Amino acid sequence: RKDQTFESRISTTNHPLSRRLFKIMLRKKTNLCVAADVATSQQLLSLADQLGPHICLLKTHVDLMSDFTLDTTQELKELAEKHNFLLFEDRKFGDIGNTVAKQYSGGAHKVVEWAHLVTAHALPGPGVIEGLASAAQDQERGCVLVSQMSSVGALTSQEYVNGCSRLAENHTYFVVGFVSQSSVSGDSRFILFTPGVQLDKSVDNLGQQYVTPRAAVLERGADIIIVGRGITQASDPVATAITYKQQAFSAYEERVAGGT
Ligand code: UP6
């Protein structure tokens, strides 16, 4: 799977959002997802507009925002269309199907209405995916299963990782891939999203651990790198995003060139 190009993977995946993501990555030459962990709509929209040309995906935690409204998500959707990226709410759903279905479609955030992709923990078993899929109805939506985590002492054993892969294989109509720290699946239909990426730091003070974009792609199997503070807290976020984008995409090109 590691050596296959995004181009060749377009035809093997059966999820429409995976196909869209592969096409965006190829057209924009970016496998960078920015984690916009900010407290206000203004900051979120400004990052989305500035960084939009350089990303394939914008990851949000809308529950960090103090002034969230659905108007913000409307504007976010317009920016996503303008710059051709997808929206990814990192809600990490992790409850029984009936509850996640309501959390996904309801509450203050109505995530299903605007986020193309969401994250989910596999801990509850198939019900979490079936619940999300039931709330998505006929909208083009998908989820990414958290298979491994970047934080110190994560409890995701090999057995858990294997369980995530089985769940995904049985639910390819909704599961697009995994949040991971290694090549958790040999199935090239699944996209691997890797957080814990930063150039300047190796840890934060609350258990986060970082590798470089190159190591994420070449050593940890990342298809898409997820970068938060490394970009959002840089003195020049746009220039910094370009650096991460170029390093991650050239590492991808190197990986597929080495394989064929
Ligand atoms: N994230 C991780 N590690 C995981 C899963 N998710 O860091 O295993 C998320 C965090 C944050 C982003 O919730 O939004 O990825 C990483 O941000 P950072 O680059 O600022 O550390």
Which H helix or E strand runs over 134?
A: helix 126-136
ipTM: 0.99
Residues catalogued as catalytic = 90, 92, 95
C-alpha closest to that of 196 among 224, 175, 238: 224
Higher pLDDT, 1 or 231: 231
Structure tokens at 145: 């299963």
Whether pLDDT at 260 is above 50: no
Residue 259: its pLDDT value, please? 54
Ligand 1 atom at minimum distance from 148 CA: 8
Ligand 1, pocket-test mutation among 37, 93, 144, 224, most atoms within 8 A of CB: 37
**Does the annotation place 208 within a ligand binding site?**
yes
Residue 125: its pLDDT value, please? 98
Residue 14: its pLDDT value, please? 85
Atom 6 of ligand 1, nearest CA residue? 195
Average pLDDT over residues 45-59: 98
**Does the annotation place 228 within a ligand binding site?**
yes
Segments of 80-121 assigned E as strands: 86-93, 117-121
Instruction: Note the pTM of the prediction, 2 decimals.
Output: 0.98
Average pLDDT over residues 36-53: 98
Q: How confident is the model at residue 251 (pLDDT cuts 50, 70, 90)?
A: very high
Read off the pLDDT of residues 96-154 as tens digits, 9 standing for 90 and up: 999 999 999 999 999 999 999 999 999 999 999 999 999 999 999 999 999 999 999 99
Q: How far is it, in rounded angstroms, from Cα 250 to Cα 260?
A: 16
**Does the annotation place 148 within a ligand binding site?**
no
Is the CB–ligand 1 distance for residue 52 below 6 Å?
Answer: no
Residue 174 exposure: Cα atoms within 13 Å on the Cβ side: 22
Is the CB–ligand 1 distance for residue 231 below 6 Å?
Answer: no
Residue 3: its pLDDT value, please? 83
Read off the pLDDT of residues 209-231 as tens digits, 9 standing for 90 and up: 999 999 999 999 999 999 999 99
Is the CB–ligand 1 distance for residue 179 below 6 Å?
Answer: yes
Sign of the dihedral through C-alpha 192, 195, 200, 202? negative
Atom 14 of ligand 1, nearest CA residue? 35
